[in-house]
Structure 1
Amino acid sequence: MFRGPHEDRQSIAELNGTYADGVVRKDAGTWGTVWAEDATWDFFGNLFEGREAIVSFWEQAMSGIEAVSFHCVPCMTEVTGDTATARVQTQEILHMKDGTTRVVGGLYEDRLAKIDGQWAFTHRKFGIVAEYNPKGD
């Protein structure tokens, strides 16, 4: 379901675009801008708290990746005032530095807030829906 003001839903879609742009360019500066200062990220059951910790972990995780293609498609966005929930499907092609390639289909479950007029992720939970070549086989 897509509910709430179109302008807010569009801003949230653009926030996902900024996230994807940061991933593809492996640019922590861009990628880090989408998170609230006190955000949390549940990445496979590992909880990272605060933008600084989230970005630090992401930089470490990205260090083993040579190149990545990252696409995201909003499945649901529901805005209520200055908060929102969303689900976003992702498709990633990861070319690892060891020469292997992985293809990952994932799902983000998000909570967001409008802070000083800008939308930011306050919580993201990521899980893999489908994966090809998970160990580089």
Structure 2
Amino acid sequence: MPFTGPVEDRLAIRELIDAYADAVVRNDADAWGATWAEDASWALPDYPEWGEKQGRDAIVATWKDAMSHYPGIVFVANPGSIEVDGDTARVRSYTSEVYDQGGATKRDRGVYEDVCIKIDGRWLFKSRSFRNIHRQG
């Protein structure tokens, strides 16, 4: 079953995904960073120049660098599964991105495989791994 666990937790995780996407569109590093646990990890195997990062500070620094390459991005994410087990959840979400780069409009679609954790009643990303599904442009 792709959606399991308490509805309240699944809704909070959906709102975490939405807050992440909103921060990307607004290019708001503080809001984006606030979606991550302090000791989180972020893997980007399709982007070896950024690799895997450990810790919120390193993750946010990498994101700031990455975002300089994606001006005017529109980023949308939709969950494909949210499986809550206590204060941990396994989540898969699909992304759609549109941005201008090098004089061309580009469109990317990808998938995040996540582990989320609940700390002091708040859900955060503990680990995220992003892979491209399709690139156009």
The alignment's TM-score, normalised by the length of structure 2, stands at: 0.93
Deviation of 1:102 (Å): 1.5
Partner of 1:59: 64
Letter in 2 for 1:111: V
Match of 2:40 in 1: 39
In the alignment, structure 1 segments of 5+ residues that lack a partner are none
Describe how 1:1-137 pairs up with structure 2 within 5 A. Answer: 1-44=2-45, 46-96=51-101, 98-133=102-137
Q: CA deviation at 1:132?
A: 0.4
Number of aligned residues: 132
Percent identity over the alignment is 45
Q: Which runs of 4+ in 1 moved over 3 A?
A: none
1:48-69 CA distances to partner (integer Å, 9 max, x unpaired)? 0000000000000001222011
Find the aligned partners of 2:9 and 2:53 in 1 and give their Cα distance. Answer: 26
Structure 2, unpaired ranges of 5+: none
- 1:103 deviation in Å? 0.5
Instruction: Name whichever of 109-118 and 62-71 sits farther off.
Output: 62-71
Q: Secondary structure at the match of 1:105?
A: strand
Give secondary structure in 1 for the equivalent of 2:132: strand
